[in-house]
Copies of this chain bind each other. A is one copy, B any other.
Amino acid sequence: MSKLMTGAEYRASLATRKPLRVYLNGKRVEDVINHPIIAPSINTLALTYDMAHDASQAELMTTTSTLTGKKINRFSHLHASPADLVKKVKMQRMLGGKCGTCFQRCVGMDAMNATFATTFDIDKKTGTTQYHERFRKFVEYVQENDLIVDGCMTDVKGDRSKSPSEQTDPDMYVRVVERRPDGIVIRGAKAHQTGAVNSHEHLLMPTCTMRAEDKDYAVCCSVPVDHPKIVYIYGRQSCDERKMDTSPAGQIDSGASCFGGQEALVIFDDVFIPNENVYMDGEFEFAGLLVERFAGYHRSSYCCKVGVGDVLIGAAQTAAEYNGAAKASHIKDKIVEMIHLNETIMGCGLAACGEGKQMPAGNYLIDVMLANICKQNVTRFPYELSRLLQDIAGGLMVTLPSAHDLYNPETADYLNKYLATVPGVTVENRMKLLRLIENLTLGRAAVGYLTESMHGAGSPQAQRIMIGRLADVKAKQKRAKDLAQIKG
């Protein structure tokens, strides 16, 4: 059996990395594991390890490697059937509900599956490259050591109206700046890298379809996160400073204080990649295919937000009960609407998986159309769920005094008296709930539940382009013309 790390072992593994150059709020971070702003994001990843040891979740969290036949964490898996893909989205929903935020481990899983399939296709086409065999070894290494891979795609892009090779500064997309006999040197930066600082390996992929002139940008490779020429600049999040207050009151004010997401700008400052870790170098005509497969996988992976949606629904029901309003028909109807929207996303995600098809490399791809449909709904419905939750929660979620005021003897009695609602609900619990709701709809968790739902795995227009392209409109025109008895 291969290694199935626990959360604690995962933390320990991070500590064995060489020092990372991480900057946050203008300062180099000394302790990248225990910094109060970073620690919750590590907790979330630890959860993905600990749940693999939870018997009740074993079917979702673990599976058997198609490479080694050993038991592995599903996050390292090359999906072997539609049923596998279905379990993947159910796992993502479950975890999203457990932590209420981004658990940062899907991108790598999706990147590995897309790269596994595409390296196979490149080798088959060229007949000379050995990318697939190299990559298979990389996946085995990841599986054997139960590592976290940062799927590293989004370039900083500069002027959006120009292609990689048209940019004023040629480094706006990661590119090969030097080719040596034993490897390549890459330069550039990847933006919005989820869990970058918490990972073991980066798997870099091109970010868009490319043409011959963009050849040097058509690069796919892996590199350890602790490579000394990589610089991390940590992104701020709404309400991030709430995490700095680790007192009990601060924990309440912080919302769901245990868990959090992480994004960083990752700069590859002329990083050498040995040949064995290069999986595409110049095969620009495959860049689009790799992106499409990765995006397809990842768009279905947004079923994680259904799990966060479960949290919003549960918070809405609890807020209504706390206020004595749970029996009002308009409240009940709004909660039904929240459920309906949430399950509509899940339905599309499940369908994308159920309709999955095998690729030449052997692993299974979700149905790309349905995955795009799923994600397009994710760019809309969480905002409406959030709006409905704010409706049910009441205005106090944005005017609530600090828990420090609840613990201050000068004000405690006032708050305990005047913020009381129905019997059996303490003001402290009401505060905790309202802070959770604030966090989910305006704070750190909202970053993941809203804005990331909008832009992660591609902004809405990216899905619309795919939807328009994948739909067989000509076949639909035939249906219409046949019915109208129009010939030709």
Contacts and interface: CB of A to CB of B under 8 A. Distances in A.
Contacts of A249: 26
Contact of A314 (B161, B191, B477): B477
Interface string A455-488: 1100111001001100101011111111111100
Interface stretch (A219-227, A229-237, A275-283, A285-293): A229-237
A405 B23 CA distance: 7
Contacts of A317: 473, 476-477
A224 B345 CA distance: 43
A151 to B, nearest CB: 15
A313 interface: yes
A446 to B, nearest CB: 6
Interface stretch (A72-80, A128-136, A208-216, A420-428): A420-428
Given A156-B419, A259-B483, 8 more contacts: A100-B479, A169-B420, A236-B402, A310-B479, A311-B483, A339-B468, A343-B471, A351-B354
A379 interface: yes
Interface in A345-384: 346-352, 354-355, 369-370, 373-374, 376-377, 379-380, 383-384
A182 interface: no
Interface stretch (A105-113, A116-124, A141-149, A388-396): A388-396
Contacts of A234: 401
B398 A235 contact: yes
A126 interface: no
Nearest to A315: B480
A204 interface: no
14 contacts: A28-B410, A159-B421, A161-B324, A259-B483, A265-B415, A269-B414, A311-B476, A315-B477, A329-B329, A333-B464, A351-B351, A390-B451, A394-B455, A442-B447
Interface stretch (A8-16, A55-63, A431-439): A431-439
A interface, size bucket? 35 or more
Given A235-B398, A263-B398, A333-B464, A351 B347 contact: yes
B399 A192 contact: yes
A302 B141 CA distance: 47
A460 to B, nearest CB: 6
A475 B446 CA distance: 22
Contact of A484 (B97, B436, B459): B436
Contacts of A154: 395
A66 to B, nearest CB: 22
A53 to B, nearest CB: 18
Nearest to A376: B340
A67 interface: no
A370 B347 contact: yes
A238 B236 contact: no
A37 to B, nearest CB: 11
Given A27-B404, A159-B422, A374 B398 contact: no
A114 interface: no
A327 interface: yes
Contact of A25 (B233, B377, B384, B402): B402
Given A314-B481, A401-B233, A454 B27 contact: no
Given A336-B467, A436-B483, A161 B454 contact: no
Contacts of A354: 86, 350-351, 354
A373 B414 CA distance: 37
Contacts of A100: 479, 483
